[in-house]
């Protein structure tokens, strides 16, 4: 590593964000497994923290993101409050979506996080629509759409990326290639390179190490600035690894024995950044303090969510659109 231009302050800020994401995920898992408080399945992003921290770092508060069913890290990195997020996971009053969306549909319009999505790939076309809206309004925001490698095999991938290319929309498509599509090794069901599909549709494409947060942050910043200036869509393939199972209750027995442990020991993005920071002169005690602070923050968020009341029954339909019978009103 070249320490002559290493930014220790930026590195510590990235470590803080990644530790917060991991602490949130570990706390959410504890709430689900040990206390059975989480309503519905949750999909943890342990091992993938660098992508969220690096890509979102450059975004403005008025830029937009869309996420997958594995969206806690993206939501937190965009600026959502962990207490509101934890309340959402527990289905409580004060959650990001009033306790109605849960983990797979968590959203926070206040920070322009337009939502996670339980339908694989469905967020890609929504993101294209958001970017088209920005262009029609003549604004300069950027949309970032996160999705997994498995989503590249679904129809919305072609539709959304093609639409962005045809209409020249200000969007960054980020494929988080964690090597597994649920319980299937992606390489066994994907023909060719996902990035080549974007290239074939005319998008400028970058492939990067998704667990090297320092390099990825610089790459993502360059791409984001270019999209903001030109309004032209781009594609980023970030290669990472999902250390946890597909869901919190998935033992991941479909993976070779020891694979996840090996990746945790050799390719954990947090450990890799800590090594860089230590080489730059940051004390282990200072980095450990960030980890403890993150754990304390998420413990407090869970305490608040645990104590929060259930939403009142009267709120069940307050944000549901009802225009009457389609037969009578729409035709």
CA gap 90, 70 in Å, rounded: 16
Q: Domain segments of the chain: what residues?
A: 39-272
Higher pLDDT, 36 or 39: 36
Contact 125, 165 (CB under 8 A): no
238-247 pLDDT, tens digit per residue, is: 999 999 989 8
| Residues ≥6 apart with Cβ < 8 Å to 259 | none
DSSP 35: S
On the question of pLDDT at 322 being above 80, the answer is no
The candidate with the shortest Cα–Cα distance to 243, out of 215, 220, 270, is: 270
On the question of pLDDT at 307 being above 90, the answer is yes
On the question of pLDDT at 311 being above 60, the answer is yes
Query: How are beta strands 184-185 and 204-209 bridged, if at all?
Result: unpaired
| Percent of the chain predicted with pLDDT > 70 | 96
Higher pLDDT, 186 or 50: 50
Would you identify the CATH topology of the domain 39-272? Rossmann fold (3.40.50)
The pLDDT confidence band at residue 66, using thresholds 50, 70 and 90, is: very high
| Residues ≥6 apart with Cβ < 8 Å to 277 | 8, 11, 12, 15, 287
Contact 20, 297 (CB under 8 A): yes
Phi-psi label, residue 287: left if phi above 0, alpha if psi -120 to 50, beta otherwise: alpha
CA gap 158, 173 in Å, rounded: 12
255-304 pLDDT, tens digit per residue, is: 999 999 999 999 999 999 999 999 999 999 999 999 999 999 999 999 99
**How confident is the model at residue 128, as a pLDDT?**
98
Note the pTM of the prediction, 2 decimals: 0.94
Contact 69, 43 (CB under 8 A): yes
Contact 179, 149 (CB under 8 A): yes
H or E stretch covering 303: helix 284-307
User: 156: burial class by Cβ within 10 Å (0-12, 13-18, 19+)?
Assistant: buried
Distance, CA of 180 to chain centre: 16
The lowest-confidence range among 80-89, 118-127, 310-319 is 310-319
The pLDDT confidence band at residue 328, using thresholds 50, 70 and 90, is: low
The CA distances from residue 305 to 96, 174, 247, 253, 295, in Å, are 12, 31, 21, 32, 15
Query: How are beta strands 184-185 and 234-239 bridged, if at all?
Result: unpaired
On the question of pLDDT at 249 being above 90, the answer is no
**How confident is the model at residue 1, as a pLDDT?**
54
48-66 in b/e form (b: 16+ CB < 10 A) is: bbbbbbbbbbbbeeebbbb
Tokens 């407090």 belong to which residue?
300
H or E stretch covering 91: none
Q: Please compute the mean of the pLDDT values over residues 310-316 and round it to a whole number.
A: 91
The pLDDT confidence band at residue 309, using thresholds 50, 70 and 90, is: very high
**How confident is the model at residue 326, as a pLDDT?**
65
Alpha helices, H only, 1-81: 8-33, 49-57, 72-78
Average pLDDT of every residue of the chain: 94
**How confident is the model at residue 319, as a pLDDT?**
80
């Amino acid at each position: 590593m070249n320490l002559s231009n290493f930014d220790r302050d930026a590195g510590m800020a990235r470590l803080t964000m990644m530790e917060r994401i991991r602490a949130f995920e570990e706390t959410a898992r504890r709430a689900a497994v040990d206390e059975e408080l989480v309503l519905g399945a949750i999909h943890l992003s342990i091992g993938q923290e660098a992508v969220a921290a690096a890509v979102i770092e450059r975004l403005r508060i008025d830029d937009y993101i869309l996420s997958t069913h594995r969206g806690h890290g993206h939501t937190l990195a965009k600026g959502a409050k962990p207490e509101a997020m934890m309340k959402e996971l527990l289905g409580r009053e004060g959650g990001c979506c009033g306790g109605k969306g849960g983990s797979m549909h968590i959203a926070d319009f206040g920070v322009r996080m337009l939502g996670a999505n339980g339908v694989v790939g469905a967020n890609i076309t929504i993101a294209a629509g958001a970017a088209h809206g920005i262009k029609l309004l003549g604004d300069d925001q950027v949309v970032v759409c996160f999705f997994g490698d498995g989503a590249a095999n679904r129809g919305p991938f072609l539709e959304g990326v093609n639409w962005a290319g045809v209409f020249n929309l200000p969007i960054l498509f980020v494929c988080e290639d964690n090597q597994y599509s649920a319980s299937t090794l992606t390489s066994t069901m994907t023909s060719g390179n996902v990035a080549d599909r974007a290239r074939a549709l005319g998008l400028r494409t970058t492939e990067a190490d998704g667990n090297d947060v320092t390099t990825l942050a610089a790459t993502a910043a360059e791409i984001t600035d270019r999209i903001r200036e030109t309004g032209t869509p781009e594609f980023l393939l970030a290669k990472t690894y999902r250390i946890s199972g597909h869901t919190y209750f998935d033992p991941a027995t479909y993976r070779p024995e020891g694979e996840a442990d090996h990746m945790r020991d050799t390719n954990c993005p947090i450990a890799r950044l800590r090594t860089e920071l230590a080489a730059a002169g940051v004390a282990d005690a200072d980095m450990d303090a960030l980890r403890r602070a993150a754990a304390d923050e998420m413990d407090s968020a869970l305490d608040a969510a645990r104590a929060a009341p259930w939403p009142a029954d009267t709120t069940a339909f307050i944000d549901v659109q009802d225009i009457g019978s389609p037969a009578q009103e729409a035709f």
